[in-house]
Amino acid sequence: MKKLAVVAFGGNALLRGDQKGTISEQELNARETCLNLVGLVKNKYDIVITHGNGPQVGNILLQNNAGAKLYGLPEMPLDICGSYSQGFIGYIIEQQFRNILEEQNLVKDVITIVTQVLVDKDDPAFKNPTKPVGPFYTKEEADKISKETKSVFAEDPRGRGWRKVVASPVPLIIANRKTIESIARNGQIVISVGGGGIPVYYKRPNFLEGIDAVIDKDLASSLLAIQIHADEFYILTDVPKVCINFNKPNEKQLDVITVAEAKQYLAEGHFTEGSMAPKIRAAINFTENGAGETIITEASQLSNPNCGTKIIK
């Protein structure tokens, strides 16, 4: 029986912390990660790939800002910048995966879908924006932009200036989910929900509009996995297994844990916000509400059938 898997690429799948972010670097990283997915393809898995976009959309916002300052070009809103990043990151992954498939005589299409994700404009997150995006500004610049655009700014804890902060609402519905599932179950590889998807809301009945927000990409990926009835959900990160008591003498790798155990470890503070905690929440969301298990692991481990930490009901 063929299985449908959603595979969420971690940030290092495209850009490593010590890299500048050139296209050559990102292409090489994407190729390396895609090579690790070939085993799933050969094992008769249908695959949907999701990915982050944090560094890339940050660079787009910087370019946006520089163009406005130097040449008077209109700055694009965050939803448009997110769509830019979905397109170019999808192109990189698509091209590298296609090259690998051709090298290994595997015949499949690879399709990138720029994906909108519905959120609730009354989500409490919009009353308390906390997600920093874009460049650093002086206090004077931040105040001026805030007055002109009604954007919210917060001072950086490390004293590097002021940054725009946006909401991180809960994703509700993945656009084109039926088409994504149909294409994937037809044996083709789909790239979707890049950067958590482009957040949109109903401004009025039957009228969608983008909104300044950033959806957590692991949570959006887990929702996609639920809504396309995936059998398995893979979250790729930079460690082979999830650990409790991380970096302590009593550190312990987790092989298989239940949703209840994952919730307990999360409540006990074993997982760091901005790192493993969102991945654990996404794993809980899929495994609790979907029909399969979640595997959190490093991409290079995928060839091992017992790889990673499995979260089961």
The model's pTM: 0.93
Given this model, what pLDDT does residue 92 score?
A: 97
Residue 77 phi/psi, 5° resolution? -70, 165
Residue 284 belongs to domain with CATH number: 3.40.1160.10
Using the predicted structure, report yes or no on whether residue 12 has a pLDDT greater than 80: no
Continuous H helices in 203-270: 217-227, 259-267
Q: Which domain holds residue 301?
A: 3-118+172-199+212-312
Q: Give the pLDDT confidence of 231-260 residue by residue, as tens digits.
A: 999 999 989 999 999 989 999 999 999 999
Contact indicator for 221, 50 with CB cutoff of 8 Å: yes
In percent, how much of the chain has pLDDT > 90? 80
Residue 127 lies inside a defined structural domain of this protein? no
Given this model, what pLDDT does residue 275 score?
A: 86
Over its C-alpha atoms, the chain yields an Rg (Å, rounded) of: 20
Residue 164 lies inside a defined structural domain of this protein? no
Using the predicted structure, report yes or no on whether residue 1 has a pLDDT greater than 80: no
- Amino acid residing at 25: E
In percent, how much of the chain has pLDDT > 70? 100
Quote the number of domains for the chain. 1
Q: Give the pLDDT confidence of 120-161 residue by residue, as tens digits.
A: 999 999 999 988 887 788 999 999 988 988 889 999 888 989
Look over the chain and give the mean of its residue pLDDT values, rounded to a whole number.
94
With CA atoms as reference, report the closest residue to 231 among 186, 281, 278, 286. Answer: 286
Range 23-37 average pLDDT: 95
Confidence band, pLDDT 50/70/90 cuts, at residue 309: very high
- Amino acid residing at 28: L
Residue 81 lies inside a defined structural domain of this protein? yes
Range 168-176 average pLDDT: 97
Active-site residues, by number, are 11-12, 131, 217, 279
Residue 137 phi/psi, 5° resolution? -125, 160
Given this model, what pLDDT does residue 271 score?
A: 95
Residue 157 lies inside a defined structural domain of this protein? no
Given this model, what pLDDT does residue 218 score?
A: 96
Residue 88 lies inside a defined structural domain of this protein? yes
Range 252-272 average pLDDT: 97
Residue 304 lies inside a defined structural domain of this protein? yes
Residue 135 lies inside a defined structural domain of this protein? no
